[in-house]
Structure 1
């Protein structure tokens, strides 16, 4: 049990402690999306491909997940004040180094260090926030705030990044993040004294070997999911090597956890069928959430919306997420049946998917996409806090911490899996539609001939020779076919996913055990 009465300076009022804790937890949450917020710019700055940016982001997230399994030991070894000061100083050093790195290898190393650092303060800060909201609804309030910020962070970061790049250079974005860390450092020094949270535990008991094995299998698995399609899967030696490493190290990790006296992850937590159901819902949710990247790609590639304009539009989605989190918190406090919250979220996601299916066309205005774009955020915000609390409900009290770790690990794999499935589906469908449409570009097709003649005449009128005009006409027609193939593929993806979400919504409504499980958790935590 955390003893918080003595770790804060006694002369500080309660509201100041709450505000300080909230401010100090925000940077770590926002930094997770700092580099991925403008992946195209960052990729061009480093001279890498967009897939490389996704890989580095996944590495950061994977290292963060692995570090979550050991961060409690670090928090118990150091006094809270020194622990948090050290984290802030390390973050400042890594951010400063990131501002001057142009080498991909060094960038990857720094991103993994980022993931390690960002995982360290989370557990301590959330537990401290729980103690500042002692009511029976304190956990709902803290979780709702935490996930509201997490879901809205892409919009916040994108807006700040867009403004920074419009006014200054990319490095000023890093300098701004360093400034926020310095302010957080000052607040930590002001809030905390040198007393400890709990009894000191030695670090030699930490299973560092298990941690290294876990990081290795996360890296290998992420590499396969991100680069598999581009490298033609098993035809590439590095993909075969990645799969081999993943299988071997997964076996080693499972064996080690089953035989260790102090496992990083207690596999007994997965014996609960309801917990596995909750994790499955997270995977489906994140696959649906990955479609947002398809929307953003369409906005940039087809509708040609500028980065700053796109950053402003993302506030619509963020508003939906915030609304969903607030509604979910209100419903939980009012004891609303949790399975209906899940069903409503999946139903809203299905509406967004099917609605957006009809928006994949060459010209679209903001008024047409605003409501379905808002509904996507509403769906995710509505389910996040209830689903986390549902997963925690499955764990016995002595395994509760492993319930949260299972949820976080599932979100990591679901993020990578969602990217892999959507990306591969896009490539396959776009290629299929391109081949199908290209077959119609023949000399016997009057519409194709008319289009080519019109384009050729347009280029000739601009001063090109007939030969050059013909080549340019073919290139422009080919670009048009590729765009149409891209849009048709997106339409298929959104249609099938809408059907999947409707099916899961029905299954949720027919399930009789979801509400019973949540009632058990509600009685344990809220006492009613």
Structure 2
């Protein structure tokens, strides 16, 4: 029987080398790294220094958090649809197209001051980031011949992703301190130029897959899915600020999300080729992996509270905080390396999860007992390293475990849902922090007010002592009393911040204890190992 046209095309694609013969292996790896790095840096730029970003755009801190959620929503929503474009265009053409568009959106971010122009651009950047990830990892995976190499590649990519926030803080702290906030986008714009020059010169004009025409694009599912993700981000980030369902914006958003969710599920069940194959939820291991991934992402962003504590209570400047977070960055890198080694050595998933969450539990216990109004920075070096190490241990094995627990034909849907759960974990962590910060702080402040009045002898003595100190330092006697009262209020606000942080550390510690018990009491995890079964496995 003669070979079909489809088979002929597939044979051609698989036999032509992707990169030109004169390009050494080390250069290929460097080019792929240069391709990924600028987009990963773009991911968390608005929250590297929230006060500076919010001041530049004349907006609230929550708006900057929402801009990251929009980027994330674009990445998650477009992930499944992007593969159609990836299969349609040749790799080199595709790379030039989305890199040019990324540079264009970065240029717009550099010049705009309006947050309502900034928001849609951030969503578009998320769409383009999905293209960057798929192309870079597909180029990487086509060169890997064994399972060990694929596991290492997953570890490298996700290691870069979880290191993005502390790395961004380190790189941008000095720039923001010396220039306007938008200088970061100018740097990101120029950072795309090396890969834009190198990849077209080193790549052959071939396709990684057989060309698949762009007809019957499921843009309806993409729209339902993406709008729902944006609504999740809006509800979780602004919910506490607007007092949840008492505000019509949050109420209508919840109603819209419910309607879109029902419509999306019904559509996927009715379609022959669904956008997200819901049969992946039949796997018990997949659902367990999603739960662990969700909790890990909530634990990961506790670092935001720690950084706020450093700046608001201890008075460290952003540059100083970025240097302290080098210990967290070192923990993330070491944890990712060791988790990769454990996966290669076929350690069971229960052992890896248990060790990772024990380290996270230790971090939260230490921070609960060592959070104080006055402290030395070196007291937090080891806890920050421990937190990064725990996150690094859990992240990569959990994603590989979740994706590999379903049939290979459904791995794309598994990767997309794993990505959505990480987005949900990011938004949930912001919602929890906002709740404890806005509601918890006010509750503690009212409690302090009930027990502290100017009629109390200790309070009167404290105010008199502060007033005398101010007079001795040259302040006029008539102003010293008002200044002493203001200093007392500032002290109360610091105590509110401390109590809110301690409450949050305690909550997460109890959640981790519950997860450790579930892991220990799940018998089917005792002999479960994780492995990548196919070199065509979809990366998330």
- Please report the TM-score for the alignment, with normalisation by the length of structure 1: 0.95
Residue aligning to 1:224: 235
Matched, 1:496 2:507: yes
Aligned Cα root-mean-square deviation (Å): 1.9
Q: Secondary structure at the match of 2:206?
A: coil
Q: CA, structure 1 residues 236+377, in 2 after alignment: closer, same or farther (shift >3 Å)? A: same
How many angstroms does 1:452 deviate by?
A: 1.5
Map 1:57-136 → 2, pairs under 5 A: 57-136=68-147
Residue aligning to 1:307: 318
Q: Unpaired runs of 5+ in structure 2?
A: 1-9
Distance 2:424 2:107 in 1: 30
Matched, 1:479 2:490: yes
How many angstroms does 1:489 deviate by?
A: 2.1
Distance 1:403 1:301 in 2: 41
Per-residue CA shift, 1:209-243, capped at 9, x if unaligned? Answer: 11111111111121111111111111111111111
Distance 2:311 2:395 in 1: 28
2:219 pairs, out of 192, 205, 208, with: 208
Distance 1:379 1:444 in 2: 49
Residue aligning to 2:285: 274
Tell me if structure 1 keeps the 8 A contact 2:293–2:399: no
Q: More displaced, 182-191 or 370-379?
A: 182-191
Distance 2:312 2:276 in 1: 43
Q: Secondary structure at the match of 1:99?
A: helix
Per-residue CA shift, 1:138-158, capped at 9, x if unaligned? Answer: 221001101111121222221
Residue aligning to 2:529: 518
Matched, 1:176 2:160: no
Residue aligning to 2:299: 288
Q: CA, structure 1 residues 372+168, in 2 after alignment: closer, same or farther (shift >3 Å)? A: same
Q: CA, structure 1 residues 173+442, in 2 after alignment: closer, same or farther (shift >3 Å)? A: closer
Distance 2:29 2:471 in 1: 69
Matched, 1:23 2:34: yes
Q: Unpaired runs of 5+ in structure 1?
A: none
Distance 1:361 1:448 in 2: 21
Q: Secondary structure at the match of 2:192?
A: helix
Matched, 1:142 2:153: yes
Q: More displaced, 271-280 or 454-463?
A: 454-463
Report how many aligned residue pairs link the two structures.
525
Q: CA, structure 1 residues 265+174, in 2 after alignment: closer, same or farther (shift >3 Å)? A: same
Tell me if structure 2 keeps the 8 A contact 1:346–1:505: yes
Matched, 1:332 2:372: no
How many angstroms does 1:271 deviate by?
A: 1.7
Distance 2:453 2:182 in 1: 51
Q: More displaced, 508-517 or 484-493?
A: 508-517
Q: CA, structure 1 residues 442+36, in 2 after alignment: closer, same or farther (shift >3 Å)? A: closer
Distance 1:470 1:173 in 2: 44
Residue aligning to 2:5: none
How many angstroms does 1:523 deviate by?
A: 6.8
Matched, 1:45 2:56: yes
Distance 1:462 1:16 in 2: 63
Residue aligning to 1:362: 373
Distance 1:290 1:154 in 2: 10
Matched, 1:323 2:349: no
